[in-house]
Amino acid sequence: MLQFCNRIYFLLLILMVVSCTQVHNNQSANVFRYNESKGITSLDPAYARNLALIWPVSQLFNGLVQFSDSLTIEPAIAKRWSISPDGLTYTFYLRNDVYFHDSPVFPSGKGRRTTAQDFVYSFGRILNPATASPGMWVLSVLDRENPNYDNGCFSPNDSTLVLKLKKPFPPFLGLLCMPYCYVVPHEAVSYYGKDFGHNPVGTGPFYLKFWRDGEKLVLRRNSNYFEVDEFGCRLPYLEAVSISFIPDKQSEFLEFLNGKIDFLSGINAASKDELLTRSGRLNPKYSANVKMITGPYLNTEYIGILVDSSKLPNNQRFLLDERVRKAIAMSFDKEKMMLYLRSNLGIPAYSGFVPSGMPGFTDVNYGLAYNSLQAKQLLEQAGYNSTNVLPEITVSTTDDYLDLFEYIQNQLGTVGIKLIIDVLPGAAYREMLANGKLPVFRGSWIADYPDPENYLACFLTDNFAPNGPNYTHFSSVLFDRLYRKAMLFNRYDQRLPYYHSLDSIVISKAIVIPLYYDKVVRFTSARIDGIGVNPMNFLVLKKVKVKAKNDNNCR
């Protein structure tokens, strides 16, 4: 039956794909079509630093482990693993039925079996400065000085990989799910050199068939892919993935409405009022042809406040007063802000810096909800009133958040806080932020991996920017000590109480003021089934199906 299904899909594709340069709009084709407005520069996992690159790369490659939609860590090429009691040694036992894509880089042209040595090579490549991978930090916890290991890696045989850490780091398995840690064959990297990113060879559910920069990228079904669904049917279901590169978001939206692409991620300001109601629901006139899927996204939008007395200008040292910071936090209504300015496509942030979509984190109000009366009282306690006016506060942001800060500016004015908005170009904003030149700033923190540690490390004393992500220069002996204790436990549930305590310290002192926790928002055409949603906003296509009048999938 599986072979019959594949033949049916292939015949449908032939009717649709006259050449690899064009995938026509036909409702019966087993092709998933989406647009990447930002373009794709490389399909090399070593450089997959943003979603525009992660999405296609994750269709072509696999790692040792992978995330489920609920962010649990599941087997991928590794069928199982063990961790030593001291948290320093990770041993992975690999499947023996995973093959690289067919490619001329192999002597027979047929893809060879993936082995543990391939991971030793792939990890060493990421750590090699000559590769210049932005993901080098992901593997920096490996013990590269141990003479018995190659960059902290050892393969006693083809099916066993041992990784040695220089110190315990419990979120390590989550790091290994990142695309930087996908396996690549040394033959392909040697053969293509710097052009490997345009000639990728992986183990994933799809392989690269055609790519014309700025026009079209086509991925085809890997018939030798190793994963099956719960019914034993080999994945993926799709015959092809077609990616276009329309840069204009409004044009992309029109292509979606006209049925020429199947998927939109997020919502553009120009099309928001057309596609959504005021409350953030799908416009009823599109309900027959469009499906809207939402879920939590591990992204916290926030206001950060520099609390380093050596960095703050003299006229901004009042920001060191915790009461002033709390007054700012309590002076604006986040629920109205989200309703009127974001159509509720986000969750008002009344909890911690760690977003509510993080496993084990629920809404906990740390006492900094909107309360203009209490905000005024806090300012008075700090010595500021109608005769001793609080100095102006300047917040730095980029232009895509201007509407939010105009709203906040207006609300803060009602309690006697004058806010000046400084809109900076992206490059200047990032440079000044890294060097402690922005007393108050707008920030976003999108999780690199789904562990609260990724957020809480932003407040470690050792992580002061520019050498780390602590842009507020917050320093606390108690915080640092609790963080180190959390890292002693391999089990997530054992670390959670420490994570909650760390988060409460940051929020109760108003070091940052969370604005909202973002949402993943996806729109698909009605012909598509199986598009899920996950808090990392990964695009998983191996279980996506295209509806047909006669659905002949093996299921």
For 64-93, write each residue's pLDDT tens digit. 999 998 889 999 999 999 999 999 999 999
- Same-domain pairing of 366 and 218: no
- Same-domain pairing of 185 and 329: no
For residue 554, what pLDDT is reported?
59
For residue 549, what pLDDT is reported?
52
List the alpha helices (DSSP H) in 416-512: 426-434, 453-456, 477-486, 492-508
Q: In angstroms, what is the C-alpha Rg of the chain?
A: 25
pLDDT at 294 over 70: yes
Q: Report the range of poorest mean pLDDT among 1-10, 23-32, 147-156, 302-311.
A: 1-10
List, for residues 473-497, the tens digit of each pLDDT value.
999 999 999 999 999 999 999 999 9
Number of domains in the chain: 3
pLDDT at 543 over 90: yes
Residue that finishes a domain, picked among 150, 174, 200: 200
Q: How many CB atoms within 10 Å of residue 237? A: 24
Amino acid at 96: N
List, for residues 47-58, the tens digit of each pLDDT value.
999 999 999 999
- Same-domain pairing of 335 and 375: yes
Q: Comparing C-alpha atoms, which of 393, 535, 521, 534 is closest to residue 455? A: 535
Residue that finishes a domain, picked among 200, 219, 241: 200
pTM above 0.85, yes or no: yes
- Calculate ∠ Cα 393-407-311, nearest 5°: 25
Residues composing the chain: 555
CA distance 354 to 298: 8
- Same-domain pairing of 15 and 130: no
pLDDT at 290 over 90: yes
pLDDT at 25 over 50: no
- Same-domain pairing of 245 and 331: no
- Calculate ∠ Cα 526-528-533, nearest 5°: 105
> Residues 395-413: what's their mean pLDDT?
95
Q: Is residue 361 part of a domain?
A: yes
What's the burial of 53, exposed, middle or buried (CB within 10 Å: 0-12/13-18/19+)?
buried
Q: Is residue 157 part of a domain?
A: yes
- Same-domain pairing of 417 and 548: no
pLDDT at 6 over 50: no
Helices 372-381, 322-329: inter-axial angle, 10-degree rounding: 160
Q: Comparing C-alpha atoms, which of 43, 126, 55, 72 is closest to residue 360? A: 72
For residue 270, what pLDDT is reported?
75
Could you give the count of Cα atoms lying within 13 Å of 314 in the half-sphere of its Cβ? 0
| Interior/surface letters 298-318, b for 16+ CB within 10 angstroms, e for the rest | bbbbbbbbbbbeebbeeebeb
What's the burial of 497, exposed, middle or buried (CB within 10 Å: 0-12/13-18/19+)?
middle
For residue 122, what pLDDT is reported?
98
The residues, any chain, with a CB within 8 Å of residue 185's CB and separated by 6 or more, are 100, 105, 106, 112, 114, 118, 201
From residue 37, give the alpha-carbon distance in Å to each of 23, 92, 200, 250, 488. Answer: 18, 38, 21, 10, 43
pLDDT at 459 over 80: yes
Q: Is residue 273 part of a domain?
A: no
pLDDT at 60 over 80: yes
Structure tokens at 323: 């009461």
The alpha carbon dihedral of 435, 436, 438, 441 has a sign of positive
**If you search the block for the tokens 């803060």, which residue do you land on?**
412
Helix-strand-coil split of the chain, %, nearest 5: 35, 20, 45
Indicate the average pLDDT of the chain.
91
**Residue 3 pLDDT class (50, 70, 90 cuts):** very low
pLDDT at 544 over 80: yes
Structure tokens at 238: 């799709």
- Same-domain pairing of 84 and 55: no
**Residue 553 pLDDT class (50, 70, 90 cuts):** low
For residue 271, what pLDDT is reported?
82
**Residue 501 pLDDT class (50, 70, 90 cuts):** very high
Question: Which H or E element spans position 59?
Answer: helix 51-60
Alpha carbon 497 to its chain centroid, in Å, reads: 24
> Residues 376-389: what's their mean pLDDT?
94
From residue 220, give the alpha-carbon distance in Å to each of 103, 188, 417. Answer: 14, 19, 58
Q: Comparing C-alpha atoms, which of 141, 133, 98 is closest to residue 119? A: 98
pLDDT at 5 over 80: no
pLDDT at 16 over 90: no
Cβ-defined contacts of 472-478 (< 8 Å, 24+): 472/304, 472/305, 472/306, 472/307, 472/308, 472/511, 472/512, 473/306, 473/307, 473/308, 473/311, 473/436, 474/307, 474/506, 474/509, 474/511, 475/308, 476/505, 478/505
φ, ψ at 80 (rounded to 5°): -160, 170
> Residues 109-135: what's their mean pLDDT?
97
List, for residues 126-179, the tens digit of each pLDDT value.
999 999 999 999 999 999 999 999 999 999 999 999 999 999 999 999 999 999
User: Would you say 516 and 444 are in contact if contact means Cβ atoms under 8 Å apart?
Assistant: no
CA distance 42 to 190: 17
- At 223, which CATH number? 3.40.190.10
CA distance 155 to 92: 10
Q: Comparing C-alpha atoms, which of 172, 192, 205 is closest to residue 57? A: 205
> Residues 255-269: what's their mean pLDDT?
91
Amino acid at 198: H
- Same-domain pairing of 320 and 435: yes
**If you search the block for the tokens 């890292």, which residue do you land on?**
487
List, for residues 178-223, the tens digit of each pLDDT value.
999 999 999 999 999 999 999 999 999 999 999 999 999 999 999 9
For residue 268, what pLDDT is reported?
81
- At 132, which CATH number? 3.90.76.10
For residue 363, what pLDDT is reported?
66
For residue 367, what pLDDT is reported?
64
Domain that holds residue 26: 1-60+204-262+527-555
Q: Is residue 386 part of a domain?
A: yes
Q: Is residue 274 part of a domain?
A: no
- Same-domain pairing of 394 and 427: yes
- At 391, which CATH number? 3.10.105.10
User: Which pairing describes strands 78-83 and 89-94: parallel, antiparallel, or unpaired?
Assistant: antiparallel
